[in-house]
Amino acid sequence: MRIRRGPFALAIACVVLSVFGLTDTLVTQVRLHHAQVRLTETRQAVEQTSAQLARAQHELESTIATKNQDLGTNTQLLDQLSVAEGRLSQAKQGLSSENFTLSNVDACIKGVEGAIGALQGGSRAAALSSLQGAAVPCETIEEDENPGGPVYPYDFPDPDVIEVAGTYYAYGTNTASGNVQIITSPDLAHWTLVGDALPQLASWATPGYTWAPSVIEDNGTFLLYYTVATHFTQCISVAAASQPQGPFNDVSSGPITCQPSQGGSIDPFPYTDRAGRLYLTWKTNGSAGRPATIWAQPLDPSGTAIASGSAPVSLLAPTQGWEGGVVEGPSIWDDQGTYFLFYSGNNWETASYAEGVAACSGPLGPCSKPFGGPILGSEADFSGPGGATVFTNAIGQPMIAFHGWLPNALGPPNPRLLFIRAIGIRDGLPFVGGT
């Protein structure tokens, strides 16, 4: 997928993507934006844009006043409307016939608006259908001659990708699409929204707090590990399905691990060693003087519980300045017997967030950091990359999937988009962008 880097196209795409993650309070904003875009009837209407945007701005200000009356002080809403208003200003300055396709923008906004309306009406199926229909025009807005852009037009944090019989399945942190987003692709460039891979949480789990899913196939069963909240901390659970698209079913009576004394357990990643044994890596937040830490532990043969008699082993803690005291989002890749541990560091809401790698002598370590900094940081096409997973494509090429912000749309409420790059080996160490 290629990204159109013209300011207007990026501005429109960012507004659309940001709006999808919101709910009732932002429906009016979407409609106003939609109405403003549709007023631009031709590519030659540059001289009319200023007046049209001025009218939209006036309506936005009226909406803010109305929302304040209806909702009282709502700082989040005001901030989000302010973001949208700023992007309308960017759109006015960046409008050109070379980077603006009215029909695609119109179809993209209609699809997102229709999805939000369907969610308001209680129809998740209709919302998913509307988003599926809008995916192609939303992607087209971002296309250009410059490689390296996002491959999916909607918010998709903490991606995990697997390949099954020539089809790629990607799983992402919960959004309005459901507890665990799932999309599919034949080529890693064009993705179709399937829906919610985990429509029903375990009975003990708190709804609305699921993220960082990761899936592995074990003897014909697909196991989905994910972060979930309980009434007292963050934990890790597992669900099973007979096919990669699910639906996954979590019948557990409790989590696999929680580690409340370590600040809670999140960001699971399962993997299999060369002997076929299953392991799980994850991150603890740290508390009471304990640092954030990445752990590993064997799983039992079913993959649904920690191996009896085993104990968690600490693999990694923050020791380098770029990490900002944070290590998280582990992903293990076995390259001819060397286990490379990919992980994220620093504040996830900033451009300082980045992806690092450690080299481990085995599934349970020990691990060392061969580089003095990250192997993937902010670039021209994205900011704050992280939440990565490493996988192998259908022809054996190692790939890395990660989320990132668009450079001019950094931090919430903007979306984190899905990017995919190849991985190569140089002097025995991985680097991003290799073939």
- Per-residue pLDDT tens digits for 243-282: 999 999 999 999 999 999 999 999 999 999 989 999 999 9
As a whole number, mean pLDDT of residues 77-86 equals: 47
Residue 171 has pLDDT above 60, yes or no: yes
Of 156, 160, 206, 161, nearest to 176 (Cα)? 156
Residue 168 pLDDT: 98
Question: Residue 78's pLDDT band (boundaries 50, 70, 90)?
Answer: very low
Residue 215 pLDDT: 98
Residue 141 pLDDT: 58
* 3-state SS, residue 41: coil
What is the rounded distance in angstroms from the CA atom of residue 46 to the CA atom of residue 290? 58
Give the residues across from 418 on adjacent strands. Answer: 152, 403
Stretch(es) of the chain classified as CATH 2.115.10.20: 160-432
φ, ψ for residue 210, nearest 5 deg:
-120, 135
**Choice between 1 and 114, residue whose per-residue pLDDT is larger:** 114
Mean pLDDT of the chain: 80
Q: Which of 27-36, 182-191, 344-353 has the lowest mean pLDDT?
A: 27-36
Question: Residue 175's pLDDT band (boundaries 50, 70, 90)?
Answer: confident
Q: Which residues contact 253 (CB under 8 A, 6 or more apart)?
A: 202, 204
In CATH, the number for domain 160-432 is 2.115.10.20
Residue 320 has pLDDT above 90, yes or no: yes
Return the residue matching tokens 């603890």: 284
pTM score of the predicted model: 0.75
φ, ψ for residue 36, nearest 5 deg:
-65, -45
Give the residues across from 284 on adjacent strands. Answer: 265, 293
6 and 145 Cβ atoms separated by less than 8 Å: no
Q: Which of 71-85, 187-201, 277-291, 324-338 has the lowest mean pLDDT?
A: 71-85
Count of CB atoms within 10 A of residue 96's CB?
Answer: 12
Residue 334 has pLDDT above 80, yes or no: yes
What is the rounded distance in angstroms from the CA atom of residue 317 to the CA atom of residue 161? 25
What is the rounded distance in angstroms from the CA atom of residue 328 to the CA atom of residue 323? 10
Cα atoms in the Cβ-side hemisphere of radius 13 Å centred on 110: 11
Q: Which of 5-14, 116-125, 337-346 has the lowest mean pLDDT?
A: 5-14
Residue 25 pLDDT: 30
What is the rounded distance in angstroms from the CA atom of residue 175 to the CA atom of residue 355? 23
Residue 220 has pLDDT above 60, yes or no: yes
**Choice between 134 and 195, residue whose per-residue pLDDT is larger:** 195
